[in-house]
């Protein structure tokens, strides 16, 4: 499989001394969005944008094996995006002193696919980082975001992992930075339609009416305050409102029932994947007894026949969520490979 | 946070309110000229949609602050503006409108006694004016859904600044500000209470049309932009009570506002005091300059029969929106639990209503 030809492994200035002629990169998954819609970009234009809820306990890891030969055809859609990302990244470094002509990307991921947890952006971001790593280039988060959007038309903002942003997911630009981190959340996730897979490429873009555009601007302002003041209750209300607006476009069956389960256990609202099937009940991680609430909610979710997707976030001072660690525990790992080659 | 920058134009600078705390749980949203919010939104949108070509004349019927807001934005956009007004228009307002380049077309005084009063006569005259123009654009503040929609910007400011709003109190005229702001606040805060402030003799919440001394709120015709289902409570405030509260707002809080602000303050202060745990916001729509020789003149107040400088302490709470007795007997300040019902629902539930 591997192509370690001397031509590609030689003379790569700036390479990490321990590498074995490959590039590696990783990226987290997410659990849908806290807010998604269209927003004023400050220049009088409305742009589609979102605020991602990162799930750092899950993720993809990419290994880039450089090559001078084409490695065949990739069949599945998600790997087409990875291949496109690798090609774009290779083009980006074509003026590098010793660029790779092509290569092969191996993806290891524990992000579930097709339910709105960011598997493809995670794969794509990890791939771009792996190709950059091979070339010894440190790309900024914004540059990775721009490339990811070019590779898959619309990308989540998981690559911008040092702050909370409103990300124009089709333009690859940050419209607003809300703050450095989200308030202390605990999100109990589930798949609202087990077995259903959403093809994000086939999903028609949501067409928001004037009233919804106004409401989305209001939600953006409320989220700005929620992040600035660590207000989980307000953040939960924003996420709930965004989820309800999305019911017109990609409805989650039983959204209000789920919301009620959360409310009965002291929850602050519900967030959803606006282009997937997952939903999450939002809790304030500082709330006394929150772990019991989370456990009881998970039980209720299972009773409804929905599949829990784990917990996002941590109780302050306690280790661990329920997802796997960034090292990707065996058993949950799906290995995938894709070949990429810059066009002649 | 970004650095502070200037504004692109005056209408942008003046449109949003300042938020000022009046009591531990009471915040004033103090506007220079609230009507700039819909005027700016509607005209800029019309411009963007190609409805305001250079030769297009903006026409509207108004004797009040919406006309001033339109004149300010029209001057900014370099468009002609024709305003159809009552025969009696405030002299200060008239001079400002003319200085801003607006043509003010007054309906004859005889129209006062016709059906629908001046408001109906103005609408007829507006149609005539439009028929004589090759291209015109009418913002239609009473029916244009962009009027309530424009108040999303106010809801944004309230949510970003306060986070929680349990109750919004404000005067009602076209319905735009209260319906728009409440509806957008409820996107995030569905339980937020909305209290509308009207005046006796206004048809908005079921009174028979009658003479109204207090101007700037209340109506003789029902505006389509008034969504009655937004309101939890409705209060009716007399001119005397509104004037006294306007002066109190000035003396206590140094807020120099007009009488509709006073009416809203009267209600909001009472409600906030009775509900100390509830964050209350009161909309104060315009400033006091136009009223220096009236509401702010003790001699004028006395001559008009308003000798008591203190507003009433609390409203008379009614079982029906329409008082059985004449307004003068029901008291200067009345209230009714509207309970987010439609106009038809309230009228069907209440006592028989005299035909307007």
From residue A77, give the alpha-carbon distance in Å to each of A102, A194, A202, A228, B258.
Answer: 20, 21, 11, 39, 64
How far is A89 from chain B, CA to nearest CA, in Å? 33
Q: Give the closest residue to A227 by CA, choosing from A182, A267, A270.
A: A182
From residue A323, give the alpha-carbon distance in Å to each of A111, A275, A315, A328, B22.
Answer: 10, 21, 14, 9, 49
pLDDT digits (tens, 9 = 90+) for A288-308: 999 999 999 999 999 988 999
Name, of A45-49, A320-324, B59-63, the range with top average pLDDT. A45-49
pLDDT digits (tens, 9 = 90+) for A165-184: 999 999 999 999 999 999 99
**Could you give the maximum distance between any two Cα atoms of chain A, in Å?**
64
Q: Which residue has the higher pLDDT, B236 or A66?
A: B236
A219 neighbourhood in chain B, CB within 8 Å: 187-188
Structure tokens at B93: 């307002």
CA–CA dist B271, B278 (Å, integer)? 9
Structure tokens at A314: 């941590």
What pLDDT does residue A198 have? 82
Q: Do A214 and B152 touch (CB under 8 A)?
A: yes
Whether pTM exceeds 0.95: no
- For residue A282, what is the enclosing H or E element? strand A278-284
Structure tokens at B140: 């239609």
Inform me whether the pLDDT recorded for A2 exceeds 70. Answer: no
How far is A178 from chain B, CA to nearest CA, in Å? 9
A226 neighbourhood in chain B, CB within 8 Å: 163
Nearest to A215 among B157, B160, B187 (CB): B187
Low-confidence ranges of chain B (pLDDT < 70): 1-2, 323-329, 350-356
Q: Do A218 and B157 touch (CB under 8 A)?
A: no
Nearest to A218 among B161, B163, B188 (CB): B188
B187 neighbourhood in chain A, CB within 8 Å: 215, 218-219, 241
Q: Do B188 and A231 touch (CB under 8 A)?
A: no
CA–CA dist A197, A194 (Å, integer)? 8
What pLDDT does residue A73 have? 36
Residue B219 touches partner A, C-beta closer than 8 Å: no
Burial B215-254 (b: 16+ CB within 10 A, else e): bbbbbbbbbebbbbebbbbbbbbbbbbbbbbbbbbbeebe
Burial A86-111 (b: 16+ CB within 10 A, else e): bbbbbebbeebebbbbbbbbbbbbbb
What pLDDT does residue A338 have? 67
A241 neighbourhood in chain B, CB within 8 Å: 187-188
- Selected residues 155-194 of chain B with any CB under 8 Å from a CB in chain A: 155-157, 159-161, 163-164, 184-185, 187-189
Q: Do B156 and A231 touch (CB under 8 A)?
A: no
What pLDDT does residue B356 have? 35
Reported confidence tier of residue A331, pLDDT bands at 50, 70, 90: very low
B159 neighbourhood in chain A, CB within 8 Å: 218, 221-222, 225
Q: Which chain A residue shows the shortest CA-CA distance from B183?
A: A215
Residue A226 touches partner B, C-beta closer than 8 Å: yes
Interface confidence (ipTM) of the complex: 0.92
Residue B152 touches partner A, C-beta closer than 8 Å: yes
- Over range A70-96, report the average pLDDT: 74
Nearest to A229 among B145, B163, B184 (CB): B163
Q: Where are the beta strands (DSSP E) in B10-148?
A: 18-23, 26-30, 57-61, 81-85, 103-106, 136-137
What pLDDT does residue A290 have? 94
Q: Which residues pair with A29 in a beta bridge?
A: A55
Q: Which residues pair with A49 in a beta bridge?
A: A37
Reported confidence tier of residue A215, pLDDT bands at 50, 70, 90: very high
Q: Which chain B residue shows the shortest CA-CA distance from A236?
A: B188
Annotate A144-208 with DSSP letters as a single string: HHHHHHHHHSS--STT-TTSEEEEETTTTEEEEEEESS--SEEEEEEESSTT----TTTSPPP--
CA–CA dist A70, A133 (Å, integer)? 21
Q: Do A210 and B188 touch (CB under 8 A)?
A: no
Inform me whether the pLDDT recorded for A75 exceeds 70. Answer: no
What pLDDT does residue B119 have? 77
- Selected residues 49-88 of chain A with any CB under 8 Å from a CB in chain B: none
Annotate B260-306 with DSSP letters as a single string: HHHHHHHHHHHHHHH-TTS-EEEEE-BBSGGGTTTTT-HHHHHHTT-
- For residue B153, what is the enclosing H or E element? helix B152-162
Structure tokens at B342: 């439609």
Q: Comparing A4-8, A19-23, A167-171, B306-310, which segment has the lowest mean pLDDT?
A: A4-8
- Over range A89-117, report the average pLDDT: 87
What pLDDT does residue A142 have? 94
How far is B270 from chain A, CA to nearest CA, in Å? 27
- For residue A341, what is the enclosing H or E element? strand A334-341
B164 neighbourhood in chain A, CB within 8 Å: 234
Inform me whether the pLDDT recorded for A341 exceeds 70. Answer: no
Inform me whether the pLDDT recorded for A159 exceeds 70. Answer: yes
Helix axes of B91-99 and B65-77: crossing angle, nearest 10 degrees? 10
CB A186 within 8 A of CB A290: yes
């Amino acid at each position: 499989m591997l192509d370690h030809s001397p031509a590609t492994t030689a003379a790569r200035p700036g390479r990490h001394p321990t590498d074995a002629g490959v590039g590696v990169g990783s990226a987290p998954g997410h659990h849908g969005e806290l807010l998604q819609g269209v927003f004023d970009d400050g220049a009088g234009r409305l742009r589609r944008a979102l605020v991602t809820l990162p799930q750092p306990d899950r993720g993809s890891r990419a290994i880039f094996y450089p090559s001078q030969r084409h490695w065949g055809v990739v069949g599945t859609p998600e790997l087409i995006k990875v291949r496109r990302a690798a090609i774009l990244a290779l083009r980006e470094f074509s003026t590098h002193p010793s660029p790779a002509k092509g290569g092969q990307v191996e993806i290891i991921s524990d992000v579930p696919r097709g339910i709105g947890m960011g598997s493809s952006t995670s794969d794509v971001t990890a791939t771009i980082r792996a190709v950059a790593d091979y070339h010894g280039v440190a790309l900024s988060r914004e540059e990775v975001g721009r490339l990811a959007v070019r590779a898959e038309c619309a990308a989540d903002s998981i690559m911008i992992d040092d702050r909370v942003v409103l990300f124009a997911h089709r333009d690859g630009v940050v419209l607003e930075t809300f703050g450095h981190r989200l308030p202390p959340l605990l999100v109990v996730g589930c798949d609202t339609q087990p077995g259903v897979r959403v093809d994000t490429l086939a999903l028609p873009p949501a067409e928001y009416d004037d009233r919804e555009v106004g409401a989305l601007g209001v939600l953006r302002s409320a989220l700005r305050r929620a992040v600035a003041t660590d207000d989980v209750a307000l953040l939960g209300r924003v996420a709930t409102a965004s989820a309800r607006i999305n019911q017109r476009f990609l409805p989650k069956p039983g959204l209000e029932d789920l919301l009620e389960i959360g409310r009965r256990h002291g929850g602050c609202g519900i967030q959803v994947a606006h282009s997937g099937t997952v939903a999450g009940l939002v809790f304030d991680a500082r709330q006394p007894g929150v772990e019991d609430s989370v456990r009881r909610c998970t039980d209720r979710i299972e009773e409804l026949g929905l599949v829990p997707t784990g917990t996002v976030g941590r109780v302050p001072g306690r280790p661990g969520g329920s997802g796997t660690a960034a090292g990707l525990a065996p058993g949950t790992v799906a290995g995938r490979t894709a070949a990429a080659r810059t066009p002649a | 946070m970004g650095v502070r920058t200037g504004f692109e134009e005056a209408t942008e600078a003046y449109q949003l309110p300042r938020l000022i705390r009046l009591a531990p749980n009471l915040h004033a949203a103090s506007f220079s000229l609230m009507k700039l919010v819909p005027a700016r939104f509607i005209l800029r949108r019309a411009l963007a949609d190609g409805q305001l070509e250079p030769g297009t004349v903006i026409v509207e019927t108004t004797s009040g602050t919406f006309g001033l807001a339109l004149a300010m934005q029209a001057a900014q956009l370099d468009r002609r503006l024709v305003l159809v007004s009552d025969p009696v228009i405030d002299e200060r307002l008239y001079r400002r409108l003319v200085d801003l380049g607006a043509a003010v077309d007054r309906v004859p005084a005889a129209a006062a006694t016709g059906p629908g009063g001046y408001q109906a006569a103005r609408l007829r005259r507006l149609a005539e004016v439009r028929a004589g123009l090759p291209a015109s654009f009418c913002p239609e503040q009473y029916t244009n859904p962009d009027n309530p929609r424009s108040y999303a910007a106010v809801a944004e400011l309230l949510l970003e600044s306060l986070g929680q709003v349990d109750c919004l109190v404000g005067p009602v005229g076209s319905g735009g500000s209260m319906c728009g702001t409440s509806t957008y606040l409820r996107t995030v805060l569905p339980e937020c209470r909305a209290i509308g402030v009207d005046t006796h003799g206004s048809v908005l919440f079921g009174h028979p049309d009658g003479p109204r001394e207090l101007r700037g709120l209340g109506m003789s015709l029902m505006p389509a932009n008034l969504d009655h289902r937004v309101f939890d409570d409705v209060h009716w405030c007399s001119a005397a009570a509104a004037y006294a509260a306007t002066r109190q707002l000035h003396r206590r809080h140094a807020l120099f506002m007009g009488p509709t602000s006073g009416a809203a303050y009267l209600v909001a202060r009472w409600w906030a005091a009775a509900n100390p745990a509830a964050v209350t916001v009161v909309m104060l729509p315009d400033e006091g300059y136009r009223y220096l020789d009236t509401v702010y003149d003790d001699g004028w107040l006395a001559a008009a029969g308003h000798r008591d400088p203190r507003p009433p302490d609390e409203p008379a709470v009614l079982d029906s929106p329409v008082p059985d007795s004449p307004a003068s007997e029901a008291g200067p300040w009345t209230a009714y639990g509207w309970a987010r019902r439609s106009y038809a629902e309230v009228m069907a539930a209440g006592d028989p209503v005299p035909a307007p």
